[in-house]
Structure 1
Amino acid sequence: MFDALKRLIDPDHVESEDARVLLAWAKAEGHTFKHVKGKTGGGHVVEAAAGWRAEWGSSQRPYIIGKELRFRAETGIPGDVQMILVSKVLAHTLESDVFSRFTNAMQTQIDNTLPDEMRWLAMHPPVRLPDESVLSRRFALFANAEPVMTHWLDADTVQALEEAATSWWSDSLVLVLTLNRGILTARMGGQPLENAQLKLVSALFAKLAARLQVVARLVG
């Protein structure tokens, strides 16, 4: 009852410093901020007028400890297209985890309890990234539909990714970009949240999602 009264008096009330940073960023950018309930304690959702959303709450992936921040957007890309873009350092870590689970259990097939993106590293072929680019040296892209990825990686998209790779998207940053069932998702650690980081990641994500929406019309 006390919690209900607090929400009535102060609907934007949040309990943690990370949530306060998320709320301040959402208000400054003109986004809608919402509380959500869940079995693992709930979290918060930020909805942008452009159609994408950010979700903050308990981690849904074993490679992200504590809170997780997710950016998600419907793209219109066919649902069977699957893609994962990660730094090569993180790809190696995830691949090692998959291999360890596979060999330790002496399995004859890839563990279906693993997150999709971890299995895709073994299942899907690598997509060639632009030669002589920071992107090709530091990142890996795997997909089951290379023509779609080729359309997506136009000059503006590559430039946006290059700028991120040379400024804030470091090898130590756990950030995984995936496409599945037509939804583009970026997953990263949600502790601690910083306003500058939220601005940079959301700006890149919005560009990547918008380009995929254009590609969906081209390949559809």
Structure 2
Amino acid sequence: MVVKQVKHWLVARANAARWRSIQDWAEARGAEFTQTRDGLGFLVEARQAVPGPLRIEWGLSQRSYLPGTELRMRCEVGLHPDLQFMVLCRTLMENLERAVFEAYTDTLKTRVDTDTPEEMRWLVMFPKFNNASSQILRQRYGIVGVTKDLTGAWIEGELGEALVQASQDLLPEGHPFVLMCMRGNIYLRTEMGEADLPKLQGLVRLLECAARAAMRLNGRVADAGAWPTTTSIAFTPSTRPGDVY
């Protein structure tokens, strides 16, 4: 027991030094930085962030399609629940579509059940938006949403430009990445082998950009009354307490 405790302390101390720049950045933003209990990951919580409270986690992946460690983030903006969109790496989209097809044809299932992550369910449930004005957007990302009109309004403009820019360095071709608007919040999840401050900052900016784009649509949805709802709202997310999503 003593040896285990000493080993844990050494790991936590070493990682604290590795993540010092991230801790300094978080605290400069008025956020709280804490290590996970095992000392192998960290959590950043910025309760007063703009455009909404921000939660950042880095640690072991919670998704089978992201090997190793991942960065996951949530920005709470209180959006209309019918605002449901997703943009993801096109290679990942094709892999997930193949996995869904194989899983549910091999077992003769005719529906996607609640054990399947939203990322996979939405590829079956929602229409794809294939008319992005940018060729890079069309080539590098898969885009789906509750309606094509709303999805297009979300992805075009500032967010689309940010995704195109990110494809040049932050999100190289084939790098697993998912950005979602659901349950009133914006979520981002991506593979990240080592916690890297510049990449983390870039992804936070992308998340915030997606949040602003969704907030611009929020009033439009609320004023128009009932947009088409989706069965995904009825699903209960399969996450553990404290998870980003």
TM-score, scaled relative to structure 2: 0.73
TM-superposed CA distance for 1:37, in Å, is 5.7
TM-superposed CA distance for 1:54, in Å, is 0.9
After superposition, where does 1:107-126 map in structure 2 within 5 Å? 107-126=109-128
> Identity, % of aligned pairs?
26
Question: In the superposition, relative to structure 1, how do residues 112 and 142 fare at CA in structure 2: closer, same or farther (>3 Å)?
Answer: same
Residues 130-180 of structure 1: CA distance to partner in whole angstroms, max 9, x if unpaired? 235211122111111333323323422221111112332122211111111
Alpha-carbon distance between aligned partners in 2 of 1:183 and 1:189, rounded to the nearest angstrom? 20
User: Counterpart of 1:44?
Assistant: 42
User: Counterpart of 2:133?
Assistant: 131
In structure 1, runs of 5+ residues without a counterpart are: none
TM-superposed CA distance for 1:46, in Å, is 1.1
Alpha-carbon distance between aligned partners in 1 of 2:175 and 2:219, rounded to the nearest angstrom? 32
Alpha-carbon distance between aligned partners in 2 of 1:94 and 1:16, rounded to the nearest angstrom? 36
Alpha-carbon distance between aligned partners in 2 of 1:207 and 1:112, rounded to the nearest angstrom? 29
Alpha-carbon distance between aligned partners in 2 of 1:103 and 1:79, rounded to the nearest angstrom? 31
Q: What is the RMSD computed on CA atoms of the aligned residues?
A: 3.0
Q: Secondary structure at the match of 1:134?
A: helix
User: Could you tell me whether the CA contact under 8 Å between 2:158 and 2:213 is conserved in 1?
Assistant: no
User: Counterpart of 1:151?
Assistant: 153
TM-score, scaled relative to structure 1: 0.81
Q: Secondary structure at the match of 1:126?
A: coil
In structure 2, runs of 5+ residues without a counterpart are: 223-245
User: Could you tell me whether the CA contact under 8 Å between 1:90 and 1:171 is conserved in 2?
Assistant: no
Alpha-carbon distance between aligned partners in 2 of 1:105 and 1:160, rounded to the nearest angstrom? 40
The 10-residue stretch of structure 1 (209-218 or 110-119) with the greater mean CA deviation from structure 2: 209-218
Alpha-carbon distance between aligned partners in 1 of 2:24 and 2:79, rounded to the nearest angstrom? 30
User: Could you tell me whether the CA contact under 8 Å between 2:34 and 2:43 is conserved in 1?
Assistant: yes
Return structure 1 stretches of 4+ with deviation > 4 angstroms.
19-23, 40-43
User: Could you tell me whether the CA contact under 8 Å between 2:144 and 2:151 is conserved in 1?
Assistant: no
Letter of the structure 1 residue corresponding to residue 127 of structure 2: P
